[in-house]
Amino acid sequence: MAKTSTKDIAKALYESTKDKSGAELTRLLENAVAFLAKNRFLSKSPEILEHLEKIRDKDLGIVSAKVTSKSPLAKHTLDEIKKTLKTRYRASDITLHTSIDLALIGGIKIEANDELIDLSLKHKLHQLQKHLLKT
C-alpha cells in the first residue's frame, strides 16, 4: 500500500476546493476532516496547512520571504526589497516576514523560494577574505 504524504493531501485539498464556496465548500471540508480523522492525519494538520499555503501562494503568484537584519528596517527599505523580489521572481505579490538577529554585524539576509540572498556584512567580509587569499 502506498504511503500518503501530507504534501499530497494538501495538493488534493487545494485542487478539490479551488473555486468552491458555500455549501459545496463546507461539504468538501467536512469530508476532508473526516478523511484526516479516519486515517489518523489530524495530528499532521499544521504540516498539511503549511503545504496548502505554499501551494496556494504558488498558484496565485505570491512569494513569501523572510528578511533578517540586525535592527528593524525602515518602511522604504522593506518596500524596495518587495519591489526587487517582485521583479526577480515575477510575482504578483510579496509577503515579507521580518526578524532580528543580533549576531549580524550589518546588512540583511533574505530567504525566498528556497534561495538565500546573503547581503550581510559578515558574508561580504568572508568573500573578500577568500578573494584576497586566492590572489
Reading the chain (135 residues) residue by residue, the pLDDT tens digits are 467 889 999 999 999 999 888 999 999 999 999 999 998 999 999 999 999 998 999 899 999 999 999 999 999 999 999 999 999 999 999 999 999 999 898 999 999 988 999 999 989 988 999 999 887
C-alpha cell at 121: 556584512
Question: In the chain, what are the helix, strand and coil shares in percent, each to the nearest 5?
Answer: 55, 20, 20
Instruction: Burial-class residue 32 by CB neighbours within 10 Å (0-12, 13-18, 19+).
Output: middle
Q: Where are the beta strands (DSSP E) in 11-123?
A: 62-69, 93-100, 107-112, 115-120
Is beta strand 107-112 parallel, antiparallel or unpaired with respect to 93-100?
Answer: unpaired
pTM strictly above 0.85: no
